[in-house]
Structure 1
Amino acid sequence: MNQHESAFDSVSPRDVTKVAALDMGSNSFHLVVARINAGSVQILHRVKQKVRLAEGLDDNDILSQEAIERGLQTLKIVAESLKGFEPDSVRIVATHTLRKAKNAKDFIHAAKEILPYPIEVISGTEEARLIYSGVAHTSHAEGQQLVVDIGGGSTEFVIGEGLSPLICRSLQMGCVSYTQRFFPDGKLTSKAFKKAVIAAEQELELIEDKYRRLGWQQCIGTSGTIRTLCLLAQPEPATNTETSLTLKALNQLTKQFIDAGHIDKLTMPILSPDRKVVIAAGLAILTAIFKALKIDTLQYSSAALREGVLYQMEDELHHADIRGRTAGSLATRYDVDTTQATLVLNTSLRLMDQCAKAWKLKHKDCRSMLGWAALLHEVGLQINSRGVQRHSAYILANVDMPGFTQEQQELLATLVRFHRKKVRVTEIPVFYQYDVNLVKRLIALLRLGALLNIKRQEDFIPDFTVDAQKHALSLTFPEGWLEGRPILSADLERESDYWKALDLTLTVS
């Protein structure tokens, strides 16, 4: 054995986790493959493919078959880089276009045939939070920072400090959608730029006062559009090193574009054919952002959504789940009876542990989603005890919930909506990731966990046995215990009738 072959013999291997994040954006699909080593995320491989999914959205928010096919063909390319990855080591997030498309489920169902991993449609707020995480983990900043990301269909704005986002918003303006609205024929006129900038400023009216009041010490821009604008704003000859951007530089770029008159006459070598099509819209949006938020300078960061996804995966693998902080915040804000919530949690999870095998509750989210639903099922009590299930569901469906995907949030709202009273199965939404029978079974378990703790007393429930079959569950209490509690006995009998709507049988003895 020579010295090269034996050089690493004394080096102990570290535990390394290989992970991948795929961002299915409105303009491009981005894949990042990395390894997590000693708590550090190390990028190994990147794939970027232009898709312009947002171009396929019509006025009725229906995604065209052509756009769907473009996306699916891109996923076939991406799939080559994901061969051999375990399901828990891959996270796929979809953003604005698939949030908006009414037929998004058609695309997602077809995508599952290509990629055997869950596809999460995340909310605009969650997208903004993940973008901030990507920036915050890869760049150091003193004090508060504003992060701006211009995507194909939406633009995200976050003010944060350190690793903590303070305020997150997503506005429906993006370089693909604005290209269609204001530069559809490729003509670059003063009138078109003026209309695009004003439209963006109108969107920004929703956030400008609040953001300016909160303030920031530095502004950071992410995404390919902002990177390209930074490069274009440099003095000739342009290098590949991004500098800061100012409103003056953006105005000068606008004049150059108008002088060119058409995107075909933009001859800058930095502009790829794909980027050239949408860069004017990106320029107009960024100009409006500078004006509305009164930004002095903006620095570019190469980190974005997919890096944020990777760092959240690292957090979930090694640190406390951010969802715990979200649940704690909601419990405080809505004055949840945490003792009662914990009773319902413990009973619901005990029931699930007994039913999981017979009911095939194999999805990785089953236990966590049932747990969060149990802890938060009474957030609506602050509104009114009457119809608490509706109030709680409304809050969970509409409040910002960092750490939860759009579909996870909808599942929580659905479980809580039917944790008591009549179950209207026609109101159970269709989920991409969760089978309807799984949802029904989680509803049943939460209902039973809440009902058995209706007295709101610790040590009220005695030891009982659970027998689960494919479509049924039997509870057996100590002899004579139910007879001494006729109201609870009647409640359980009525509950068995409610379970019929869930295609389940409940028997109690």
Structure 2
Amino acid sequence: MVRVAAVDCGTNSIRLLIADLADGQLTELDRRMTIVRLGQGVDATGAFAQEALERVFAATEDYADVIRSRGVSRVRFVATSAARDVSNRDAFLSGVEERLGARPEIISGDEEAELSFRGATTSLELPTPYLVADIGGGSTELVLGDRDGVIAAQSLDIGSVRLTERHVTTDPTSPAELAAITRDIDALLDTTTVPLAEARALVAVAGTATTVAAVALNLPEYDRTAVHHARLTTGQLRETSTWLTTSTRAARAAVHSIHPGRVDVIGAGARILQRLVDRLPVETLTVSEHDILDGVALSLGS
């Protein structure tokens, strides 16, 4: 058995998982998430904002304290969409390494997709092949696979933060803005090399999907246990997505199951999920709390 720590820094949040790993199975000890909005303004400027870096560094310091206190033997820190093409990524890499003692890895979209697939599908019983959809702040990973592994995978540059910053200026989102978001989503889904029509089940992971599920289930507050492996019908998804994309910011903020850091971007994220489901031959989707973070932790055993 080895005690591992996985850190995933995305466009909107940074997350930590500490677990004991034995025989390819994880026993979770600590899991936490902090909204840092690392991708703030990146779509427009091509660089990390200084205040965004400071938020990431503060969260990293907190995580480093937890990792040390838990007696972790192996640590892996991965960064995804927001960190791939920015002009000042060296400041990000060195700042994290200074605080954590581990050098961040900026992983490719393909590796991100494979890690998400591995984390989401361990011990999952669904018809195959299944499609894993990881909707993040800056990108969306689509992975088709079965129990033997990945068949096809692709990372698309559509995410909740990216699309919100690019198109949304009104509250609530105007029909014209929603139409622009939808055009961007459809344009990239039209080009995907992943054969969506072959999917027999959909597994949706990460904050957009879990938040949509919490709202659809009318949870009084976010409940990870209730969300994990929840199944939503396409009708439930459509109703929830419509509300999230047309409601005011204040109305969304009043829903306690929506994390405050997701209130302003969840509409665009829900729209991505809806447009994806519209293309799939499925009647339900399964939401998983296990995702790339679990995949990163599992990778520390090899």
Considering the TM-score relative to the shorter chain, is it more than 0.5? yes
1:17 paired with 2:35, answer no
Distance 1:284 1:34, change over 3 A: same
For these two proteins, the number of residue pairs brought into alignment is: 297
Residues 134-159 of structure 1 show CA distances to partners (whole Å, capped at 9, x for unaligned) of 01224233421110010111000001
1:166 paired with 2:184, answer no
Aligned amino acid, residue 306 of structure 1 = L
Distance 1:294 1:135, change over 3 A: same
Q: CA deviation at 1:88?
A: 6.5
Alignment of 1:239-250 (within 5 A): 240=223, 241-242=226-227, 243-250=230-237
Alignment of 1:70-219 (within 5 A): 70-83=55-68, 89-207=74-192, 210-213=194-197, 215-219=198-202
User: 1:256 maps to which residue?
Assistant: 243
Distance 1:86 1:101, change over 3 A: farther
Aligned amino acid, residue 273 of structure 1 = P
> Please, what TM-score do these two structures have when normalized by structure 2?
0.90
What is the rounded CA distance, in whole Å, between the counterparts of 1:289 and 1:110 in structure 2? 36
Aligned amino acid, residue 182 of structure 2 = V
> Please, what TM-score do these two structures have when normalized by structure 1?
0.55
Q: Tell me, what secondary structure is at the counterpart of 1:187?
A: coil
Paired-residue identity, %: 28
1:301 paired with 2:285, answer no
On the 8 A contact 2:113/2:153 being kept in 1, the answer is yes
Q: Tell me, what secondary structure is at the counterpart of 1:168?
A: strand
What is the rounded CA distance, in whole Å, between the counterparts of 1:275 and 1:246 in structure 2? 23
Alignment of 1:342-421 (within 5 A): none
Relative contact order higher in (CA < 8 Å, ≥ 6 apart): 2
Q: Tell me, what secondary structure is at the counterpart of 2:261?
A: helix
User: 1:311 maps to which residue?
Assistant: 298
User: 2:28 maps to which residue?
Assistant: 43
On the 8 A contact 2:220/2:257 being kept in 1, the answer is no
Structure 2: give runs of 5+ residues left out of the alignment: none
User: 1:59 maps to which residue?
Assistant: 44
Q: CA deviation at 1:190?
A: 2.8
Q: CA deviation at 1:246?
A: 3.9
The alignment's C-alpha RMSD in Å is: 2.3
More helix by share: 1
Aligned amino acid, residue 211 of structure 1 = P
What is the rounded CA distance, in whole Å, between the counterparts of 2:218 and 2:196 in structure 1? 31
What is the rounded CA distance, in whole Å, between the counterparts of 2:176 and 2:84 in structure 1? 31
On the 8 A contact 1:146/1:160 being kept in 2, the answer is yes
On the 8 A contact 1:197/1:287 being kept in 2, the answer is no
1:281 paired with 2:274, answer no
What is the rounded CA distance, in whole Å, between the counterparts of 2:7 and 2:281 in structure 1? 33
On the 8 A contact 1:129/1:168 being kept in 2, the answer is yes
What is the rounded CA distance, in whole Å, between the counterparts of 1:288 and 1:139 in structure 2? 24
On the 8 A contact 1:211/1:293 being kept in 2, the answer is no
Distance 1:119 1:194, change over 3 A: same
What is the rounded CA distance, in whole Å, between the counterparts of 1:88 and 1:256 in structure 2? 45
Q: CA deviation at 1:45?
A: 0.8
On the 8 A contact 2:5/2:72 being kept in 1, the answer is no
Distance 1:86 1:252, change over 3 A: closer
1:232 paired with 2:215, answer yes
Residues 380-405 of structure 1 show CA distances to partners (whole Å, capped at 9, x for unaligned) of xxxxxxxxxxxxxxxxxxxxxxxxxx
Larger Rg: 1
What is the rounded CA distance, in whole Å, between the counterparts of 1:45 and 1:39 in structure 2? 18
Distance 1:71 1:295, change over 3 A: same
On the 8 A contact 1:183/1:281 being kept in 2, the answer is no
On the 8 A contact 1:56/1:66 being kept in 2, the answer is no
Aligned amino acid, residue 109 of structure 1 = S
Q: Tell me, what secondary structure is at the counterpart of 2:278?
A: helix
Q: CA deviation at 1:183?
A: 2.3
